[in-house]
């Protein structure tokens, strides 16, 4: 995008420069008095300056619009990402709780089985 702005800026400068130089050359070759020639050069310069100012004003408006659009899009992306991350965190917490519960249940079963095996072994030894 910055490359496009640089290209547009270069084209604008080239257009203005070429127009000014071309107008001055055309005026210099026109058969007019010095006073008329100076007035024509001033008029053309004012005309080109007005066009350049209008182009810059339009460019500023467009830049502000692009910046605002970019802000809105980035805010939406951040909001969407936040919602997705919160959902993933909730899912991860549920999975972790389930794993803890399963591990606890299996641990209790394992303890009971080990104790029963140990009791059976002791009973066998005592008899």
- In the chain, where the domains are located: 2-126
Mean pLDDT taken over the chain: 83
Separation in Å, CA 80 to CA 5, 22, 87: 30, 54, 11
Put simply, whether the predicted model's pTM sits higher than 0.75 gets the answer no
CB-facing half-sphere around the CA of 124: CA atoms within 13 A: 6
Task: Quote the CA–CA distance of 15 and 18 in Å, as a whole number.
Answer: 5
Residue 101 in this model has a pLDDT that exceeds 90 = no
Q: How confident is the model at residue 3 (pLDDT cuts 50, 70, 90)?
A: low
* C-beta neighbour count of 51 within 10 angstroms: 14
Task: Quote the CA–CA distance of 90 and 82 in Å, as a whole number.
Answer: 12
């Amino acid at each position: 995008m910055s490359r496009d702005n640089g290209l547009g800026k270069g084209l604008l400068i080239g257009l203005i420069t070429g127009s000014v130089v071309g107008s001055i050359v055309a005026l210099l070759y026109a058969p007019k008095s010095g006073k008329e020639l100076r007035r024509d050069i001033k008029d053309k310069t004012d005309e080109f300056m007005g066009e350049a100012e209008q182009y810059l004003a339009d460019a500023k408006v467009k830049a502000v619009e692009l910046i605002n659009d970019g802000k809105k899009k980035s805010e939406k992306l951040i909001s969407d990402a936040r919602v997705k991350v919160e959902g993933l965190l909730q899912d991860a917490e549920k999975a972790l709780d389930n794993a803890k519960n399963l591990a606890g249940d299996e641990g209790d079963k394992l303890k009971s089985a080990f104790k029963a095996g140990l009791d059976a072994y002791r009973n066998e030894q005592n008899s």
